[in-house]
Amino acid sequence: MTPQFSSQTLSNIEILKTRYPVEQSKSALLPILHMAQAEFGGYLSRESMDYVASLLNLQPIEVYEVATFYTMFHLKPTGKYVLEVCRTGPCALSGAEHIVDYLKQKLGVDLNQTTPDGLFTIKEVECLASCGSGPVLQVGECYVENLTDQRVDSMLAALKSGELSDNEPTPAHSILFRTCGDKQS
Ligand code: FES
C-alpha cells in the first residue's frame, strides 16, 4: 500500500518546498526523508521512498542514493531504541570497538539486528562530532559519552525502565550523559 503523509505534514512540505527554486526541489529531500521516517514507522521502506520521489518529481533512484548514504536513515524496521555507536578514528582509539562488542554480548544481537523484545538495535555510524568524549553513542536525540561497560549497563537499564528518554533534547555535550539520566557520573 502506498504510504500517505498526514495533511499537516503535506502542508509543512509545501512550505518547505517554497524555500528552494522549483528546479532545485531536490534540496528539500533530506528534511522530507526525516518526516517520512518519523511518520512511516521509524524507517524508510521502498514504498515510502518512492512516495517521497513522487512528491518531489524525482526519479526513485535519486531518493535511494541519498537514503542509503546517510546512516541516520534506517532502511528496515528497528527496535524502539537505535544505539548508534561512533566508529570513526578518535572513538575507535578510545575503545569504540570494545563498546560495540560489549553491547552485542549484553543484548545478544549483532550489528544492525534488533533484540527479540523489540527494544534495541545496534548500529555503527561515522563521527558524531563529540570526538573529545569518546567512545560515544547516540540514541535518538541523546548522546551518551565517555562510554564504559558500567555506563552502558546504566544506560540500558535507564532506557528499559523509561527513566531515560531518547527524545530528550540535550543542550551541551558536557552534561549530555547526566541529562540523559546517569546517576553514577
Ligand atoms: S570520532 Fe567519534 S564523535 Fe568524532
Domain ranges of the chain: 7-67, 81-179
- Cα(172)–Cα(177) distance, integer angstroms: 10
> How confident is the model at residue 171, as a pLDDT?
34
| Spacing, Cα 85 to ligand 1 middle (Å) | 9
Grid coordinates of 69: 548514504
- At 173, is the secondary structure helix, strand, or coil? helix
Report, as an integer, the average pLDDT of 53-82: 94
CATH number of this structure's domain 81-179 = 3.40.30.10
Q: What is the pLDDT of residues 115-156, one digit of tens each?
A: 999 999 999 999 999 999 999 999 987 889 999 999 999 999
| Spacing, Cα 110 to ligand 1 middle (Å) | 21
Question: Does residue 176 carry a pLDDT above 50?
Answer: no
- At 2, is the secondary structure helix, strand, or coil? coil
Cβ-contact 67, 106 below 8 angstroms: no
Q: Does the beta carbon of 72 sit less than 6 angstroms from any atom of ligand 1? A: no
> How confident is the model at residue 106, as a pLDDT?
97
What is the gyration radius of the CA atoms in the chain, in angstroms? 18
Q: Does the beta carbon of 95 sit less than 6 angstroms from any atom of ligand 1? A: no
| Spacing, Cα 11 to ligand 1 middle (Å) | 36
Q: For 106, list phi and psi in degrees, rounded to 5.
A: -65, -40
Q: Over the chain, what is the mean pLDDT? A: 88
pTM check: above 0.85 = no
